[in-house]
Structure 1
Amino acid sequence: MEYISTRGKIDSVGFIDAILMGLADDGGLLVPRHIPALSADTLKKWETLSYSELALEIFSLYIDGEIPREDLKKLVDDSYATFRDPEVTPVRRINDRLHVLELFHGPTFAFKDIALQFLGNLYSYVSRKNNSIIHILGATSGDTGASAIEGVRGKEGIRICILHPHQKVSKVQELQMTTVDDANVLNLSVHGTFDNCQRIIKELFADVSFKHKYHLRAINSINIARILAQTVYYFYAYFQLARKGETRTINFSVPTGNFGDIFAGYLAKRMGLPIGKLILATNENNILERFVKEGIYEPGEFRGTYSPSMDIQVASNFERYLYYLSGEDASAVSGLMSGFKAEGKIVIPADKLQQVQADFVAYGVHNDECLATIGTYYDDTNYLLDPHTACGVAATDKLAGDGEVTVALSTAHPAKFDESIQLVGITQTYPAQIEALFDKPQHQTIVDGTNEAIAEQVVKFYEAEA
């Protein structure tokens, strides 16, 4: 499989070069040259596979022999052996029309573990095979950082630097990152928002000479391996319901801020998974909702919410969707992104908006509605939703039709966001792994939110290895 840039200004690369490149050297995002099309027979054969077996089949389509199958199988098996549930991503029935896909059974209790356990092992594999240096640089709105650190901490040949917005993640998210004291980990707490952190990361990666000099690799969802790993659980959730005899149309409701998780669902649907609606759930930072409803992509005023991992105004994966919306016309995407940089917004014509609305429906959940959803479902079903999952469930209640069943993606364990849960008047018990964090010392460096301040810390950290 070859990978190309959404902006079309680099030569195609193979899978390993794609995951090492992260952000394409022309500033675009990497996508597969073609999306594999799956037959109904293939889907039927896959229905009985375990999670790891299914992941192996899907990864094989996109890696196309570049990693020997036995090596790939070991990477997959090792990655998902760390999960607490034997199903890896179990589906829980809430009522006749709603199921929850629990994506929080990995080491850090967040859906990011599913991709980052694999990507961490993959980076380690490449480092050993190529005798190469892997310097990971990433930004997080909360969960990516902890998952990425957990995926590579202590691994030879790899160092990781993670930026998070200072005092704008939950306490548990902060502790999961900053209580790690491994020599190959640096946490930078950045004055500003996640959008500031993400912009700095993308601009440092866009400086190709800096990127190559310091062997920078991406862990954020700009890395195509992240997206591919996330497509697996859409298939697996669908198959879990199919094995139970579910024949109704199946929707997926996805809480999203960076557009990566729902883009993985879009990719699964294009591969042939018979998904009904893709419900895009946002919070009050609702740039993506407005795009789906009006065809206007324009950052608004940042709002701090009870679902902080979605407090994002500029979605880093949005460009991948624009590529397919533009008929895979890289020059059109380049024009749109240049216009966005110059004018701060993208406006699409009516015919393109019709396509967007065929691909997605969207709903922005306000803070009070988020908390009310947590309380209502806890009272009615005794199931505790984290605030991000609550946004997905609230969107389901608004947008799912009669006779349909919806799988809402549960992106994190509620213990990671106890500040929000307490506002509903619910007392929860922390898992032991999370409870233990509160007694550990923290290790982080607080820095200004400028390219220069971050670059200085990055250079100091990575050069210290030499």
Structure 2
Amino acid sequence: MQYISTRGGTLGQFSDVLLEGLAPNGGLAVPETLPRLSAEDLERLRPLSYPELATEIIGLFATDIPRDDLARLTAAAYGGGKFAADEIVPLSEIGEGMTLVGLSEGPTLAFKDMAMQFLGEALEYVLEKNDRVLNVLGATSGDTGSAAEHALRGRDRVSVFMLSPQGRMSAFQRAQMYSLQDENVHNIAVEGVFDDCQNLVKRLATDLDFKRAHSLGAVNSINFGRISAQIAYYVWAWLRVTDKVAPTERADFQVSFAVPSGNFGNILSGHYAKSMGVPIRTLVLASNENNVLDEFFRTGHYRPRSAENTLATSSPSMDVSRASNLERFVFDLLGRDPERTAAAWHELEERDEIDLSGELDRFESEFGIVSGTSTHDDRIATIREFSESSGVILDPHTADGAKVARAHVEAGIPMLVLETAKPAKFADLITEALGTTVEPDADTQAMLDAPARVTNMPHDEQQLRAYINERALR
């Protein structure tokens, strides 16, 4: 399979885009053609374990990696006791017509482990094959950074430079990153918000001379390796729900997904799964108070906000006002036309807005995407209500997803809420919602008490360049 840029030009195969991050012209890598899954294909996948299913789904996109090698990578990513649940992704009913898709069983207790554990294995494989090194440059609003660092720590051919916004993550999220003492992990806390961190990453990634001289790559959700791995759990969730459906009725049995959304990577994977043929009726996008995406899907106007207008909320991993992966959806919305997509992003640079209101009717009718916003009071109430009714405690981001999903539950259509993280990562908010103190276990307390290995830095591109230049692998 060949990959192209959303703004034009060819980029090579899966292994190529795995290492490169942004395309040279600033676009994002997408498959030249999207693979399809027939009803027969889905039935063939039904008896597989999660690592086996991931091999099959990722294999549709990673056609340049021999299947036996890919199977070893997925077995290493999802085996060895890294995930607490034997099934890797357990499903559990939580009431109100909703089912929780358990994506937070991995080492950092967040859904990002589902893709990042695979990406760590795949990067090491490709780098060894090509006798290369990679300096990963990324930005995190909470969970991406810790998942990336735990997947890549201690690897000989990879160094990680992870930017995070000072004071904008929970204590647990900070400790998961800053407590790591591995020499190949570099934490940089930037004065500002997530979008400031993301903009610094983009500026360095689009400086082709600097990027090549320092072997820069990306593991945030612009990396298509992560998107392909996330498609697998949409397929898995549909299969597990339809295990209970009569075989004669499975082929057309629809489900809906509710997805807490910040950078649009997770729900984009659902968009691809639906486009590939998985019977998905609706994709419910849940925003927090930084509801730029909700505004876009309600009005057709995409208006990213400035750092000063990006709020610090109690669902911090969604405190994003400029969603990188939206470009991949807009590429599909505009008929996969790179010229129109490039023009849209030129419009964004000129006017701080993209007007696609003329396409508004297609968002739900053609792509099945609806949206809504959840506030602090909403997530507090939602956590409390589900705890009382089902005994399940939701983290704040998952609570946003459940809150918005309520308006879109349909009789006979299971609503699958994608879990974002374990509630233990947000102990203060759970205490506020439930009135009970969440006592950390011994391992968590040791992590919270560990010395922080982090460099504080102003929002300064030149300082960041100098820091990377001094420490990058070569």
Q: Distance in 2 between matches of 1:239 and 1:373?
A: 28
Alignment coverage as a number of residue pairs: 461
Q: Distance in 1 between matches of 2:291 and 2:178?
A: 29
Which of 252, 260, 268 is equivalent to 2:257? 252
Instruction: Tell me what 1:292 maps to.
Output: 297
Instruction: Tell me what 2:121 maps to.
Output: 121
Q: Which runs of 5+ in 1 are unaligned?
A: none
Which of 373, 389, 414 is equivalent to 1:380? 389
Q: Distance in 1 between matches of 2:146 and 2:346?
A: 33
Does residue 240 of structure 2 align to residue 232 of structure 1? no
Q: Shift of residue 369 of structure 1?
A: 0.6
Instruction: Tell me what 2:203 maps to.
Output: 203
Matched to 1:256, the amino acid is S
Q: Distance in 2 between matches of 1:385 and 1:244?
A: 25
Within 5 Å, give how 1:295-334 maps onto structure 2.
295-300=300-305, 301-334=309-342
Matched to 2:53, the amino acid is L
Instruction: Tell me what 2:88 maps to.
Output: 88
Matched to 1:225, the amino acid is G
Which of 278, 283, 287 is equivalent to 1:273? 278
Q: Distance in 1 between matches of 2:448 and 2:106?
A: 20
Instruction: Tell me what 1:44 maps to.
Output: 43
Does residue 220 of structure 2 align to residue 220 of structure 1? yes
Q: Shift of residue 431 of structure 1?
A: 5.2
Matched to 1:377, the amino acid is F
Q: Distance in 2 between matches of 1:286 and 1:166?
A: 21
Q: Is the 8 Å Cα contact of residues 96 and 405 (structure 1) preserved in structure 2?
A: no
Matched to 1:442, the amino acid is A
Q: Which moved more, 1:150-159 or 1:252-261?
A: 150-159
CA deviation map 1:54-80 (0-9, x unaligned): 10001111111x111111111000000
Q: Shift of residue 94 of structure 1?
A: 1.0
Does residue 76 of structure 2 align to residue 78 of structure 1? yes
Q: Distance in 1 between matches of 2:147 and 2:442?
A: 18
Does residue 135 of structure 2 align to residue 135 of structure 1? yes
Q: Shift of residue 253 of structure 1?
A: 0.1
Instruction: Tell me what 1:357 maps to.
Output: 364
Which of 446, 458, 462 is equivalent to 2:468? 458
Task: Provide TM-score, normalisation by structure 2.
Answer: 0.95
Cα 1:429/1:191, change in 2 over 3 Å: same
Which of 402, 415, 426 is equivalent to 2:436? 426
Instruction: Tell me what 1:348 maps to.
Output: 356
Within 5 Å, give how 1:153-232 maps onto structure 2.
153-232=153-232
Q: Distance in 2 between matches of 1:429 and 1:93?
A: 26
Task: Provide TM-score, normalisation by structure 1.
Answer: 0.97
Matched to 2:128, the amino acid is R
Q: Distance in 2 between matches of 1:268 and 1:170?
A: 32
Matched to 2:38, the amino acid is S
Q: Is the 8 Å Cα contact of residues 103 and 114 (structure 1) preserved in structure 2?
A: yes
Q: Shift of residue 435 of structure 1?
A: 3.2
Q: Distance in 2 between matches of 1:322 and 1:450?
A: 31
Q: Which runs of 5+ in 2 are unaligned?
A: none
Q: Distance in 1 between matches of 2:103 and 2:179?
A: 23
Q: Distance in 1 between matches of 2:442 and 2:194?
A: 29
* Superposition CA RMSD, Å: 1.3
Matched to 2:116, the amino acid is L
Q: Shift of residue 403 of structure 1?
A: 3.2
Cα 1:224/1:204, change in 2 over 3 Å: same
Indicate the SS of the match to 1:62.
coil
Does residue 448 of structure 2 align to residue 438 of structure 1? yes
Q: Distance in 1 between matches of 2:331 and 2:104?
A: 30
CA deviation map 1:192-227 (0-9, x unaligned): 000000111011101111100000010111101010
Q: Percent identity?
A: 39
Q: Distance in 2 between matches of 1:429 and 1:49?
A: 38
Q: Shift of residue 96 of structure 1?
A: 5.8
Indicate the SS of the match to 1:361.
strand
Q: Is the 8 Å Cα contact of residues 286 and 373 (structure 2) preserved in structure 1?
A: yes
Q: Is the 8 Å Cα contact of residues 103 and 410 (structure 1) preserved in structure 2?
A: yes
Q: Distance in 1 between matches of 2:233 and 2:149?
A: 22
